[in-house]
Amino acid sequence: MISALYSSALAQTGQKVELISSQLSKGFTAQGLIRIIKPVFSHDGSTLAADSANFDQKRNVFDAFGNIVITQPNGTTVYSDLLNYNGNTKLAVLTRNVRLVDGDATLTTGLLTYNMGTKIGTYLGGGKIVNGANVLTSKRGYYFANSRDAYFRNDVVLTTPDALIKSDTLRYNTTSKIAYFYGPTNIYGKDDTLYTENGQYNTVNDQARFGKKNLYTQGKKSLKGDSLFYDRRQGFGRAIGNITFVDAAENITFKGDIGLYRKEDESILATKNAYVIITTESDSAKVDSIYMTADTLFSKVVPDRLIKPSGKEKLKSDKDIKAEEAIAAKKESEAVIKEDTQAAVKEAPALKTTKPGRKERKAAKNKPPAPDSLESAKFNPEVIIQPDSGAVKRTDSVAVKKPVTDTVEVKLVTDSVVKKPSKKAARKAALEGPAPKEVNPLKASLPADTARTRIVMAYHQAKIFKSDLQARADSMFFSYGDSTVRCYVKPMIWTQGSQLSGDTVYLQLKNKKLDNMLLQHNSFIVNTDEGDSTHFNQVKGKVITGVFADGKLDRMFVDGNAESIYYVKEDSVYSGMNRMLSSRIKVVFKENKLKDIISILKPEGNYYPIEEIPKDEEILKGFIWKPKDRPRSKEEIIPSLAAKKQPVRKTPVKKPAAKVVPVAKRST
């Protein structure tokens, strides 16, 4: 009935709102409104239904009340308690319990402005979108039904089954379920966090791509770069451009232009201008980091049991070096005892033997053969000189007559404590103190199998720079388990005016300071005064062990076919050269300079006055001197740092030449 009365006014569908059905009409009001019960309106293919409505046909608007339902041809449905609709602008203002349902996405808010033409919904007082398992909340939001994109501003929170995302500005597509960020954003996982100010996150496969101020953190580890990709499910990340990986627990920093990260073993692979910073301390407790660079740097966390040192890696601390010195002193005292004992046997009268009985012959048959002399390494006989009988007894039951004047008791046992040595040996042992057992400090300090530690590997053209130590090698390996840098394939070290080389070089840190070093096989030291390229102090041997004091090289020990050349100075003028050959040589440093070379065991050598040194005696076999290979600064081994350090030169702008204006001459 109502539709018949006003069919002329509602004839223009698409322009005018059409009332297609109702339950009851209460007639006209003073304002020209029609009060309608259970109306159903139609406009541009969409239907609008409510419990009741006040319809102004002249203005083409209506207010609807209770159980509002807007249904659009694309399937989008909007619910609310109140509705104001303008057919001219196609704007629907919905309030109270507003719900916009678009497929599997539901938008809820207290106040929504929805354009029926553009299908764009806007809320400014807080809203929420539920899209499957994902939930988004924000203060301001815009929903585009055509593209199914939602834009959020201010206090945006996106909750997914695997992450919690907080952002300032975010776009979310309810079809692809990909979130796009245009402002400061944090993505919180179970044990890691991603930060960016521009990027995207796929909530379906948990993959993130970031492009501005990007940062990934896991505990005390972090990775950042100009461009960052991270797959949360695979635990894999990739950073490109100005990458920085930091492990604060180990005080280590990786840098480069390309980086790959794996969460499982906390590994990082850095290439292209890659370098690593290992934080140490100098003698003044100031930070004096080790800079290591190579074509490729790789680091990961592994069980300690996988990096147990081999038997050849006997890096020794200062305490162990002192223990070795005590052992060397012990061997010297044993040598003295042997000499004293041999002299006692030689001075004794001829031995008188007696034929053993049957029982003695049977017992002797079951015993191992007696040594032929006192120098036997397998059996060391006891020599006891007894004052009461004046006889010398040996373990082979041979009696020796000896004058009663010698009243010393001696016992020789190889690799055991010497009991009652001679007066000379006892005096020396008292000065040195007891010799502790020789142990491998690395093996003794190994943690349980469950312990894990970080290792660093540098491949090809590896270099190290520290203010007081530099190094080069083809490859290097560093383990935080023993704080040791291992250098392989033609390694070379420079420190305090000395060049050190060997087949393999080990540098060990203790309490963030250099503690000791080990040069294995073909070990060589070359030292010269600054500015002097004619006189080279040299030391070579099979193994060289160095000890640092307060981060400075203090002394070195050369073992195995040790040879040395040392130039002697008197009043700052070279006076001669010592050339020595010994079982062990000690090199002493003082004030960053070589102070002395001391032969410890079985020295042999010659001294040559400076003007009489033979040309073929000036260098040792294997001598090599490469001062040009020594890095002079961290910028020299890291080109990217050198580029940053150089100031940007401004191109001078040429100013146009000033125009000369001719001055008119005055007529006279």
Give the chain's mean pLDDT.
76
DSSP E strand boundaries for 263-318: 267-271, 275-278, 290-293, 296-303
Q: Mean pLDDT: which of 30-39, 266-275, 596-605 is highest? A: 266-275
What is the reported pLDDT for 139?
92
Amino acid, single-letter form, for residue 583: S
Residue 89 has pLDDT above 70, yes or no: yes
| Domains of the chain, earliest start first | 1-123 (2.60.450.10), 488-639 (2.60.450)
Contact 226, 244 (CB under 8 A): no
Residue 283 has pLDDT above 80, yes or no: no
For the residues 454-465, what does the mean pLDDT come to? 92
What is the reported pLDDT for 332?
52
Q: Mean pLDDT: which of 248-262, 316-330, 362-376, 387-401 is highest? A: 248-262
What is the reported pLDDT for 91?
92
Q: Show Cβ contacts of residue 277 under 8 Å, excluding neighbours closer than 6 positions.
A: 252, 253, 255, 289, 290, 291, 292
**φ, ψ dihedrals at 226, nearest 5°:** -60, -40
Q: What percent of the chain has pLDDT over 70?
A: 70
Contact 82, 76 (CB under 8 A): no
Alpha-carbon gap, residue 378 to 390, rounded angstroms: 28
What is the reported pLDDT for 390?
37
What is the reported pLDDT for 287?
65
For the residues 11-32, what does the mean pLDDT come to? 69
Residue 279 or residue 532, greater confidence: 279
What is the reported pLDDT for 80?
95
What is the reported pLDDT for 399?
36
DSSP E strand boundaries for 359-414: 382-385, 391-393, 399-401, 409-411
What is the reported pLDDT for 380?
32
- What 3-state class would DSSP assign to 133? coil
Q: Tell me: the pLDDT tens digits for 578-607?
A: 898 888 888 888 876 778 888 777 788 888
663 burial level (CB within 10 Å; 0-12, 13-18, 19+): exposed
2 burial level (CB within 10 Å; 0-12, 13-18, 19+): middle
Residue 622 or residue 33, greater confidence: 622
Alpha-carbon gap, residue 431 to 14, rounded angstroms: 112
Q: Minimum mean pLDDT among 265-279, 373-387, 438-452, 598-612: which range?
A: 373-387
Q: What is the DSSP string of 34-94?
A: EEEES-EEEETTEEEE-SEEEEETTTTEEEEEEEEEEE-TTS-EEEEEEEEEETTTTEEEE
Tokens of 470: 């530099």
User: In 10 A of CB 371, how many CB atoms?
Assistant: 16
Alpha-carbon gap, residue 117 to 115, rounded angstroms: 5
**The residue to which tokens 């093996």 are assigned:** 443
Q: Show Cβ contacts of residue 41 under 8 Å, excluding neighbours closer than 6 positions.
A: 17, 18, 19, 20, 47, 48, 49, 53, 55, 62, 85
Residue 323 has pLDDT above 80, yes or no: no
For 4, 21, 23, 27, 589, the CA distances from 1, given in Å and listed in that order, are: 5, 9, 10, 12, 114
Residue 419 or residue 290, greater confidence: 290
Residue 151 or residue 7, greater confidence: 151
DSSP summary character for residue 234: T
Residue 651 has pLDDT above 60, yes or no: no
